[in-house]
Amino acid sequence: MGNPNDSSDEPASKKSRTEAPTQLSKDVENKLTAALSTQEELEKLHQEATNEVLAVEQKYSKLKKPLFEKRDKELKHIPGFWSTAFQNHPVIAQLMMELDQQILSHVTELEIEDLEDIKTGFKISMRFSENEFFSNDLLVKTLKYDLSKGDAKTECTEVNWKPGQEEKVTDASNLFMWFTATESLDDGPDEVASQIKDSLYMDAIRFFKNELTEEEMYNRDMDDMEGIGESDDDDDEDGDGGSDGGEEEEDDDEA
């Protein structure tokens, strides 16, 4: 086994960087200037694409909201629905301890709400029935992203613990303590929150019925990515109606 202090094992970002040449030929400078101009056009186009994608997400987030509300209105009448869905989620279940299961058995409603502009975060709201742990009937965890710094912070409603319960839950809970934590995340989005928002909440019924394994979740994500790529390819083909013409030009050249 290699020495962990050996510099050869350090990631590339930790190693010394190669300094750019201090003196460049006129030809190289001209080529860099031209390339930089093209790079700026690429960045502008990328930003335009990002803005368009965000506009689409905002549109469909509003369209989906009443459907989620309609669905969730039915689900709240199914005893233990959300507790079961959490336990059947292959990723989230790994974080759950026995006490988490007891607490989540009191969840009657789960709601995910994007912040107004979507890109800066979202809220996870849980409603609870009367229980032995705390008196709150609603707890809300808010995740806020600082896009300029690439980090995030989380906030949660203060828990009104019943006598003797705070220490008990703190020592024997994992997922619930994550939910109630207020912290800063230097390495970007919260993975657990993302799993709840984009996976568990979206496919709640299938997780309740235990129809999705971790492998199926991964394969479906890959299919979605391939679908996006195929859509882009189709657009290119639609806009490229001159492929045959290109071949004819080559034939003409050869002639």
Long-range pairs, 76-85, Cβ under 8 A, ≥24: 76/108, 76/109, 78/208, 80/105, 81/204, 81/208, 82/107, 82/108, 82/109, 82/110, 82/126, 82/204, 83/107, 84/207, 84/208, 85/200, 85/204, 85/207, 85/208
**Which residue type does 197 have?**
K
Instruction: Give a yes or no: residue 238 inside a domain.
Output: no
The pLDDT of residue 146 is 78
Query: pLDDT for 12-39, tens place per residue?
Result: 545 566 777 778 888 888 899 999 999 9
242 pLDDT band, cuts 50/70/90, is very low
Task: Dump pLDDT digits (tens) for 198-214.
Answer: 999 999 999 999 998 77
In the prediction, which pLDDT does 228 show?
46
Q: Which of 57-66, 233-242, 245-254 has the highest mean pLDDT?
A: 57-66
User: Is 63 a member of any domain?
Assistant: yes
User: Has residue 91 been placed in a domain?
Assistant: yes
Average pLDDT over residues 37-60: 92
Residue 22 lies in a domain: no
Question: Is residue 231 in a domain?
Answer: no
Tokens of 1: 């086994």
Q: What is the pLDDT of residue 161?
A: 97
Share of the chain above pLDDT 70, in %: 76
Give rounded-to-5 percent helix, strand, coil for the chain.
Answer: 55, 15, 30
Is 1 within the bounds of a domain?
A: no
In the chain, the number of structural domains is 1
Dist CA 98 CA 85 (whole Å): 15
In the chain, the percentage of residues whose pLDDT exceeds 90 is 55
Torsion of the alpha carbons at 160, 197, 78 and 157, rounded to the nearest 10: 10
**pLDDT tens digits for range 99-131:** 999 999 999 999 999 987 777 899 999 999 999
- CATH code of residue 67: 3.30.1120.90
The token duo for 244 is 């045959």
d(CA 167, CA 187): 29
Quick: pLDDT tens for 127-185.
999 999 999 999 999 998 877 777 788 899 999 999 999 999 999 999 999 999 987 77
Confidence of residue 215 (pLDDT cuts 50, 70, 90): confident
CB of 128 within 8 A of CB of 111?
A: no
Given a cut of 60, whether residue 94 has pLDDT beyond it is: yes
The reported pLDDT for the residue numbered 245 is 47
Q: Going by C-beta distance under 8 Å and a sequence separation of 6 or more, which residues neighbour residue 173?
A: 97, 99, 100, 103
Q: Residue 124 in contact with residue 112, Cβ under 8 Å? A: yes
Sign of CA dihedral 240, 245, 247, 252: negative
* Range 56-75 average pLDDT: 94
- Identity of residue 76: K
Residue 85 lies in a domain: yes
| Greatest CA separation for the chain | 92
Mean residue pLDDT of the chain comes to 82
Distance CA 15, CA 206 (A): 47
**In the predicted structure, residue 78 carries a pLDDT above the cut 90:** yes
Q: In terms of residue numbers, what domain contains 62?
A: 48-222
Does the residue 130 lie in any domain? yes
